């Protein structure tokens, strides 16, 4: 199955916005393969967006070499379980040997050749001394592998990255043509994410930013000081408001978590119309979503009066945009 034979749907949000509810709702559908985890191959540091920049707009031989090495490290971290920085990702287990073969084919397509050498940004003083002492011979103990990846046009890169995504999913999709990819912070660069994955559509889940923030600022990756955490989250949501204006209206759908909790059936009808599929009652029943888990209005109990006033002021623009009180 080629890249063009798969229909990719991206799910995006802002962190703690209820994105998982839509993913859980689509996962039991017989026509859909939905990942039960965040993919993290596109928007995470050193992912496809970072690599695209290094090979196109920001290309030099050394930018490309460093970016290739960092992307390779990211894919290896994602491959293992309880190893590396993504300790539960387990791509090797989830996708099988197809995953690493797909990554190898992708990088082989981008890299013209590799050789032993030392770039100034990686060399230490002992390393340089050893290299001088053994010149012109280059050994593993005094050099590193340098990958030469020539400059690419955006379309060349995106053709390769779309094939990578198809290669990863075609084996586990078991014949299903619709692939739902839950990728953190797609909302921050939606047009580029659609282009590098080959996705036809994007669903962005929004939530009352005060409720989202109530969960958000307690996470390990969030600042703990309230004002700093507000600024952190507000920036992501404001960027989406700017980015969505550049998107064709038929490629994205915004859903409010509060609407999903209040009128499940109406949101499902919107999803059906957008995706062009039927979501039957048994699929909805098989999902793990319940309105109680949305925690609508949690911010009113979680924060003091002074904190509520501060949060209301900080998110005023977003609250007006989405019609929250």
pLDDT category at 1 given cuts 50, 70, 90 is very low
- Give the chain's mean pLDDT: 88
pLDDT category at 14 given cuts 50, 70, 90 is confident
User: Comparing 56-70, 126-140, 235-249, which segment has the lowest mean pLDDT?
Assistant: 126-140
* Residue 166 confidence (pLDDT): 93
Q: How many residues comprise the chain? A: 325
* Residue 53 confidence (pLDDT): 98
- How far is the CA of 309 from the CAs of 66, 207, 225, 228, 237, in angstroms? 46, 19, 16, 15, 19
* Residue 88 confidence (pLDDT): 86
Q: Is residue 144 part of a domain?
A: no
Q: Is residue 314 part of a domain?
A: yes
* Residue 46 confidence (pLDDT): 97
The total number of structural domains in the chain stands at 1
pLDDT for residue 307 is more than 60: yes
Q: Is residue 307 part of a domain?
A: yes
What is the percentage of the chain residues whose pLDDT exceeds 90? 48
Q: Which residue has the tokens 């409010």?
A: 256
* Residue 4 confidence (pLDDT): 58
The token pair that represents 321 in the structure block: 């945009």
User: Comparing 103-117, 171-185, 267-281, 287-301, which segment has the lowest mean pLDDT?
Assistant: 287-301
Q: Is residue 95 part of a domain?
A: yes
pLDDT for residue 187 is more than 80: yes
Q: What is the DSSP string of 202-265?
A: EEEEE--HHHHHHHHTTSTTS-SSHHHHHHHHHHHHHHHHHHGGGS-TTSEEEEEHHHHHH-HH
* Residue 2 confidence (pLDDT): 52
Q: What is the CATH number of the domain that holds 253?
A: 3.40.50.300
pLDDT for residue 152 is more than 90: yes
Q: Is residue 74 part of a domain?
A: yes
Contacts of residue 109, Cβ cutoff 8 Å, sequence gap at least 6: 160, 163
Contacts of residue 56, Cβ cutoff 8 Å, sequence gap at least 6: 151, 152, 153, 154, 157
pLDDT for residue 3 is more than 60: no
What is the rounded CA–CA span in Å between residue 291 and residue 270?
Answer: 18
pTM: 0.90
Higher pLDDT, 84 or 250: 250
What is the rounded CA–CA span in Å between residue 131 and residue 108?
Answer: 28
Q: Which residue has the tokens 């590193």?
A: 144
pLDDT for residue 71 is more than 70: yes
pLDDT for residue 197 is more than 90: yes
Most confident option among 10-14, 91-95, 146-150, 184-188: 146-150
Domain that holds residue 53: 3-112+149-322
């Amino acid at each position: 199955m080629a890249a063009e034979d798969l229909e990719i749907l991206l799910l995006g949000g802002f962190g703690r916005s209820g994105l998982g509810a839509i993913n859980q709702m689509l996962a039991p559908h017989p026509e859909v393969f939905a990942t039960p985890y965040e993919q993290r191959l596109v928007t995470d540091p050193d992912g496809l967006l970072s690599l695209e920049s290094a090979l196109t707009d920001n290309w030099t031989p050394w930018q490309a070499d460093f970016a290739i090495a960092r992307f390779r490290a990211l894919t290896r971290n994602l491959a293992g379980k309880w190893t590396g920085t993504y300790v539960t990702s387990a791509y090797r287990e989830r996708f099988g040997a197809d995953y690493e073969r797909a990554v190898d084919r992708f990088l082989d397509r981008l890299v013209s050749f590799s050789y032993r050498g030392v770039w100034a940004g990686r060399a230490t003083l002992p390393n340089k001394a050893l290299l001088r002492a053994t010149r012109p011979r280059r050994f593993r103990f005094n050099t590193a592998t340098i990958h030469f990846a020539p400059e690419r046009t955006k379309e060349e890169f995106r053709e390769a990255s779309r094939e990578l995504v198809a290669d990863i999913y075609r084996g586990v999709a078991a014949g299903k043509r619709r692939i739902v990819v839950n990728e953190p912070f797609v909302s921050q660069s939606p047009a580029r994410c659609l282009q590098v994955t080959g996705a036809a559509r994007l669903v962005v889940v929004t939530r009352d930013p005060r409720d989202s923030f109530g969960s958000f600022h307690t996470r390990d990756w969030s600042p703990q000081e309230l004002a700093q955490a507000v600024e952190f989250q507000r920036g992501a949501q404001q960027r989406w408001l700017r980015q969505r204006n550049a998107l064709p209206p038929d490629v994205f759908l915004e859903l409010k978590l509060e609407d999903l909790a209040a009128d499940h059936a109406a949101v499902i009808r919107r999803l059906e119309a957008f995706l062009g599929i039927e979501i039957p009652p048994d699929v909805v029943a098989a999902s793990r979503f319940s309105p109680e888990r949305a925690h609508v209005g949690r911010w009113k109990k979680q924060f003091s009066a002074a904190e509520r006033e501060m949060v209301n002021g900080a998110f005023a623009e977003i609250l007006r945009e989405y019609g929250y009180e």
